[in-house]
Amino acid sequence: MCHVVVNPPAIVLESASKRYGSATVVHDLSFTVERGEIVGFLGPNGAGKTTTMRMIAGFTAATSGRVVVGGHDMAVDNVAAARSIGYLPERPPLYETLGVASFLRFVAKAKSIARGDIPGEIERVAAACRLEDVMRREIYKLSRGYRQRVGLAQALLGRPEVLLLDEPTAGLDPGQLHETREVIRAFGRDHAVLLSTHILAEATVLCRRVAIINRGRLLAIDSPTGLERAMEHTSRVALEVRAPAPGLAEVLAGVKGVRNVDIRPGGPGNVLAIDCRIDAEDGVEAAIARAVAGRFDLHRLERHHPTLENVFLHYVSDDGAPDDSA
Amino acid sequence: MRGVLAVYQKELAGYFRSPIAYFVMAVFLLGTGYFFLYNVFLTGDATMTSTFQNMGLLLLLVTPLLSMRLFAAEYGGGTMELLMTLPLHPWQIVAGKYLGAFTILLAIAVGTLIDIVPLYLFGTPETMTIAAGYLGFLLLGMASLAIGQLASALTRNQIVAALLTGAVLLAFWFVGHLQSFQTSPMLRGLTAYLSFGLHFVDFIQGLVRTEAIAFYLVVAAIALTLNTGYLQWQR
């Protein structure tokens, strides 16, 4: 599918910061989300994901910087901006004593959906979120998965241009997880979706781009594969060689691109497990194989590509000061 | 206006899907019924004056129960985040909630009309005096609910909201009693002017003064404006 972007991005953050007293929760955050893309917002707990979501949704105002949603500056006209936003907070905001249908009707009215369109809209989101069976039930009687999906349905009402989802799949079972991701994926084809999660697999399958934040700072933003590629210089080669292997460490250290060699006794049998951290882009594993194969009994050689998980841990742990945010 | 209506309808549904509205109505109607029987049959006085006086005091008790949930429950239930991110101006939220609570009060007032039936059956009450009393009751309710709604916005805890409302309303009710302690005429005038109770007494005696109407409305308007401003400031 090809999208020609003529409008400004659906979400724009320009050096947005949020301070509470002397504590800076979000620090100088800048990024954009275009229509037709799903951007994953990745970070450990307490990284500032929820605060950022709240700034974009208009629940809290940025202390400095600019947040523009759907062309409306949040500081100037957040009500106009709110018309283009569907927002599912971390804790689904539900009126416990209302039935699902009357709750959705309230949100539809508050979103100024035309009176005649409301029943159709409710039917559409209920079908998308598989809520048909619980429409007449009071919300306090619903299971966690249903509550989460009522929250999502509420956000989808009125087909908002921008969808903000704060951990939308928390509390879902695997079946629901799959369905919910499909709903988000379908919606993301022609809307802007920003989705926060700490599940890396989710970001990999759903998102075109991933933003990694920690301690309120944006550490990286790129496609999942782009982030992995950027990390490739720190990827690893693991091999197993029959012991004893005198001089192996020297041989490996001599191969161009190998930075660091770690030799440990391996698993069953008389085997050594070696872990090499390598620098170079390509072909290092072949060079290692050539250097080792002639002189030693090589059992196994494997190149580990960085997963998004490694990327994430890399960024989050290399982030300077010791972790005090737990 | 649709935004106000949406919040209003949600508020009403919230009242009637929880026991609060029923409980408050029952307490109020039972209380009023008791006072009415006492005032009319034991004292043989076929007017509503004493009953209105008691209704005013009952209202001070009941208002905190009606208003305490208005915002405190939204904070507690996490729904404030929805309310403040829907395309609604804060004033629409404030107005919708206020109208919802006022509707309950109106229903209570209508419920007490049943007490008037025997007055007309067995006596000749002054209709205009009774009408003035109800007008005063509703105005007193409007001011009290607005104060209660503001208190509810200031805290996440419904009990704290109710206690705060009760304290403020009691202070406004009894501030008139301080007037005999004041030596300066200005303070005497001020304490009398600020008294919810003294203005209310005028109404139940059939005296409808523009000044009293304006007083209650201004108190309500100030509280609701502060309420709206507080929501905006909170962002």
Q: What is the ipTM score, two decimals?
A: 0.89
pLDDT of residue A203: 87
Please tell me which of the candidates B81, B87, B235 has its beta carbon nearest to residue A112: B87
How many Cβ atoms from other residues are within 10 Å of residue A1's Cβ? 5
pLDDT of residue A25: 93
Lowest mean pLDDT among A4-8, B59-63, B139-143: A4-8
Instruction: Look up residue A272 and give its two tokens.
Output: 């050594």
Return the bridge partners of A272, or none: A241, A265
Give the Cα separation of B75 and B86 in Å (integer).
15
pLDDT of residue A105: 96
CA distance readout (Å), A83 to A58, A70, A73, A185, B161: 11, 9, 13, 21, 32
- Cα maximum dimension of chain B: 58
The one-character DSSP state at A137 is S
Amino acid at A288: I
Task: Report yes or no: A23 at the B interface, CB cutoff 8 Å.
Answer: no
Give the Cα separation of B122 and B128 in Å (integer).
18
pLDDT of residue B174: 85
Instruction: Give A87's contacts in chain B (Cβ within 8 Å).
Output: 81-82, 85
pLDDT of residue A321: 42
Instruction: Look up residue A222 and give its two tokens.
Output: 């790129």
How does strand A11-20 pair with strand A38-42?
A: unpaired
| B34: Cα within 13 Å, side-chain hemisphere | 8
Burial class (CB in 10 A: 0-12, 13-18, 19+), A302: exposed
pLDDT, tens digit, 9 for 90 and up, residues A23-82: 999 999 999 999 999 999 988 888 899 999 999 999 999 999 999 999 999 999 989 999
What pTM was computed for the model?
0.84
pLDDT confidence tier of residue A267, bands split at 50, 70 and 90: low
pLDDT confidence tier of residue A323, bands split at 50, 70 and 90: very low
pLDDT at A14 over 50: yes
Q: What are phi and psi of A198, to 5 degrees?
A: -115, 10
Looking at residues A289-296, what average pLDDT do you find?
83
* Residue predicted with more confidence, B231 or A301: B231
pLDDT confidence tier of residue A3, bands split at 50, 70 and 90: low
pLDDT of residue A6: 60
Instruction: Look up residue A183 and give its two tokens.
Output: 């709903």
Amino acid at A251: V
pLDDT at A320 over 80: no
pLDDT confidence tier of residue B149, bands split at 50, 70 and 90: very high
The one-character DSSP state at A91 is S
pLDDT, tens digit, 9 for 90 and up, residues B2-20: 899 999 999 999 998 888 8
Where in A103-247 does DSSP place strands (E)?
Answer: 162-166, 192-197, 209-214, 217-222, 236-242
Looking at residues B40-47, what average pLDDT do you find?
77
pLDDT at A2 over 50: yes
pLDDT of residue A281: 62
DSSP A264-303: EE-SSSSEEEEEEEE-SSSSHHHHHHHHHHTTS-EEEEEE
Q: What are phi and psi of A280, to 5 degrees?
A: -70, 165
Best mutation target, B85, B228, B233, to test chain A (most A CBs within 10 A): B85
Looking at residues A303-314, what average pLDDT do you find?
77
Give the Cα separation of A87 and A151 in Å (integer).
9
pLDDT of residue A326: 34
Lowest mean pLDDT among A113-122, A147-156, B43-52, B75-84: B43-52
pLDDT at A246 over 60: yes
Amino acid at A63: T
Task: Report yes or no: B1 at the A interface, CB cutoff 8 Å.
Answer: no
Interchain contact, B3 vs A80, CB within 8 Å: no
Task: Report yes or no: A93 at the B interface, CB cutoff 8 Å.
Answer: yes
**Going by CATH, does the domain composed of A232-305 fall within 3.30.70.260?**
yes
pLDDT, tens digit, 9 for 90 and up, residues B181-231: 777 888 888 888 888 988 999 999 989 999 999 999 999 999 999 999 999
Task: Report yes or no: A102 at the B interface, CB cutoff 8 Å.
Answer: yes
- The sheet carrying A64-69 orders its strands as A23-33, A11-20, A64-69, A72-73
> May I ask the CATH architecture of the domain A11-229?
3-Layer(aba) Sandwich (3.40)
pLDDT of residue B109: 94
